Amino acid sequence: MRTTLKQVADDTGLSIATVSRALRRNKRRYSKNEEKIYASARKLGYPFIGELNHEEQLTIALVTEVHQGEFYSSLFNGFYNSSKNSESEIVFVNLAKYSNDPVQHIINLSKKYSGICLFLPNLEKIDYKRIRQGVGKYPIISLTPMKNPTIDTVSFDSYSGGYMIAKHFEEQGYKNFGIVSGPGDAVDAVFRKNGFVDHISEKKDLELVWEFKGDFSSESGRDAFKNFKKQSLSNMAIFGCNDHTCFGFMKSAIEAGYKIPEDFIIAGYDNLSFCDNFTPELTSVATNFDILGIRAIRTIENMVNDSNEIIRQFSMVPVEIIIRASTQN
């Protein structure tokens, strides 16, 4: 039976990532740990002549609290598609099963996999600090943005997405803007809002006249419309910070006799499939999970192959606005 990286890791008491880093290098570094790795590899018969055995794959864990719906399906499909053109294998890990202490479970996963990608929009900042302390220099990244990152990030450029929407509204001739924001504890939602608001604040003739705090659900979109209607607002441009919010808002508005885009224009975020199927079709910011997957996998592979030093990497994946009937008079 062929010797595996895990057997070498178990024999040395080191992580798979540390072992893989040492055995993939073209030039050896004669530290205490790496001498131990080379000795174990010789003893167990694991080949390490300058590079990893081509038959041996890195195994990267994509860790998330699995949710149903198109958004998470897009995430998983993006990573699956990206792994086809990579030397790495992707394993999906459902963190919801370990709700008692998810951070400790993530730390434990670092002993099992070559690297970890975290997609946990609601994880607290303090938890990321604990993760970094627990895994040390182990290859781990976040796929959601952070205000003050404690680990490397590869994420969508949410700020630019919000900014694009406000700019598009201005180009359509609107001066009065409204927003249904996302959850306050989701940094991604905050960045979307910040980009939107910043473009408005840059222009003297633009004004944010209405805001409703939502939670990314269609129900919060319905609640937002009730508030909008109560204030007798119209002839304005509304940004719903995700498509589900817009769906609830638009459905309620149409049921109440409003016409879109005649009475107001509206745009969402995520470009889910129903954006093309709703009437009117919904303008939305599109995110490409295939590109996110490629960037994330390459980042982990580079971290595995890199030196012992932690080199902070913060990579933004571009987004684009798909303009449809909901914002075109």
Convert the pLDDT of each residue in 67-103 to its tens digit.
778 888 999 999 999 988 787 889 999 888 777 788 8
More confident residue, 96 or 233: 233
Q: Residue 31: which pLDDT band, with cuts at 50, 70 and 90?
A: low
pLDDT in tens, 116-141: 999 988 766 668 888 988 988 889 99
pLDDT at position 230:
95
Predicted local confidence at residue 126, as pLDDT: 62
Peptide bond into 121 cis (omega under 30): no
pLDDT, position 47: 64
Q: What is the pLDDT of residue 23?
A: 75
Least confident piece of the model among 46-50, 149-153, 184-188, 273-277: 46-50
Segment 218-239 mean pLDDT = 95
Task: List the domain boundaries for the chain.
Answer: 5-44, 158-287+321-327
Across residues 3-14, what is the average pLDDT?
84
- Mean pLDDT, rounded, of the chain: 87
Residue with tokens 């434990």: 108
What's the angle, vertex CA 94, arms to CA 91 and CA 97, rounded to 5? Answer: 140
What is the rounded average pLDDT of the residues 268-285? 96
Tokens of 134: 């627990």
What is the predicted pLDDT for the residue at 170?
98
Average pLDDT of span 141-151: 85
Task: Report pLDDT for 86.
Answer: 81
Say how many Å lie between the first and final Cα of the chain, rounded.
68
Of the chain, the percentage scoring pLDDT greater than 70 comes to: 90
Residues 35-58: tens digit of each pLDDT: 788 788 877 877 664 444 444 568
| pLDDT in the model for residue 29 | 54
Identify the CATH assignment for 158-287+321-327 out of 3.40.50.2300, 3.40.228.10, 3.40.50.261, 3.40.50.150. Answer: 3.40.50.2300
- Which position has the higher pLDDT, 46 or 250? 250
Lowest mean pLDDT among 15-29, 110-124, 243-257, 309-323: 15-29
What percent of the chain has a predicted confidence (pLDDT) above 90? 56
**Higher-scoring residue by pLDDT: 307, 1:** 1
